Amino acid sequence: MTTSTPPLITARGLEKAYGRTEALRGASVSLGAGEILAVTGASGSGKSTLLHCLAGIVTPDSGSVEYAGTRIDGLSEARRTELRRTDFGILFQFGQLIPELSALDNVALPLLLAGARRTAAHEQASDWLGKFGVYGQARLRPGEMSGGQAQRVSLARALVTGPKVVFADEPTGALDSLTGEQVMTTLVQSARESGSAVVLITHDAQVSAYADREVVLRDGVVRADEPWAAEHFSTAEVRGND
Ligand SMILES: Nc1ncnc2c1ncn2[C@@H]1O[C@H](COP(=O)(O)OP(=O)(O)OP(=O)(O)O)[C@@H](O)[C@H]1O
């Protein structure tokens, strides 16, 4: 991104503790509009907690999160939920599709929640399933699909509303490498087409290679733009041992 463009998200000095475990210890990071940012780091370094704070799922103990110029860390749960619905798409490692609903209904759900009519929502959901190569699975429930198919359906659900930011927490973590590459290619292409920014959490250097920029979390603090090097992270450096 250019320096003249204000960031879409700016997080400053985030701290978050779970009991005695300090998951974040002053993490700061920014995200430009349309930027694909990889957040890497050892297990337990605070990546998921950071993503949850940026997406308004979790409230930090201190520090601030600004989205499009507005502080969101102090908003009520209801307003944060609304923001996630209107502006954010979220993709988890295991998809977290609703098991009782078909693929089509899972993808249509965010549109229905946003007030779309049923027929229009289903038409749009069908288009997205087609785009991600899982139109043939439209009537299946998540338990009747392969992991790769379910993750593509999850991706369609995350992108169907045209979010400004997609938060993806280890989106390929449960997939074999070929399927993971296909999911990443689809995610990145779709985000580029729609101008969505992506926050991508990953352990995997092959996945972070899809990003425009990478930051490394260590001990709950962002070490900006360090090159990924797994050997940096000995187990002694992993948080949670206090
Ligand atoms: N809800 C929670 N309750 C208690 N402890 C938590 C909770 N969420 C995270 N933690 C702890 O906070 C620390 C950071 O966890 P977090 O999941 O953010 O790290 P991570 O880098 O995403 O790890 P991983 O790569 O293993 O998913 C860990 O020690 C974890 O055990």
Residue 177 has pLDDT above 90, yes or no: no
CATH of the domain at 70: 3.40.50.300
Query: Which of 14, 15, 21 has most ligand 1 atoms within 8 Å of CB, for mutation?
Result: 21
Domain membership flag for residue 57: yes
Number of domains within the chain: 1
Domain membership flag for residue 144: yes
Highest mean pLDDT among 17-26, 90-99, 233-242: 17-26
For 183-211, the pLDDT digits (tens) are: 899 899 999 998 999 999 998 888 999 99
CA dist 84 → 124, 164, 180, 189, 237 (Å): 20, 10, 25, 22, 33
Domain membership flag for residue 1: no
Domain membership flag for residue 236: no
Q: Which residues does a 6 A CB cutoff place in the pocket of ligand 1?
A: 18, 21, 23, 41, 43-49, 239-240
Residue 234 has pLDDT above 60, yes or no: no
Residue 150 CA to residue 175 CA, distance in Å, equals 10
Domain membership flag for residue 241: no
pLDDT band at 26 (very low <50, low <70, confident <90, very high): very high
Residue 74 CA to residue 39 CA, distance in Å, equals 24
Beta bridge partners of 168: 91, 200
What range does the domain containing 194 cover?
9-227
Domain membership flag for residue 2: no
Residue 233: what pLDDT?
A: 35
pLDDT band at 235 (very low <50, low <70, confident <90, very high): very low
Output the pTM of the full model: 0.87
Max distance between CA atoms of the chain, in angstroms, equals 55
Domain membership flag for residue 89: yes
Could you tell me which residue, 184 or 235, shows the higher pLDDT? 184
Query: Which of 49, 92, 207, 228 has most ligand 1 atoms within 8 Å of CB, for mutation?
Result: 49
Residue 96: what pLDDT?
A: 84
Domain membership flag for residue 235: no
Its ipTM equals 0.96
pLDDT band at 173 (very low <50, low <70, confident <90, very high): confident
Residue 224: what pLDDT?
A: 65
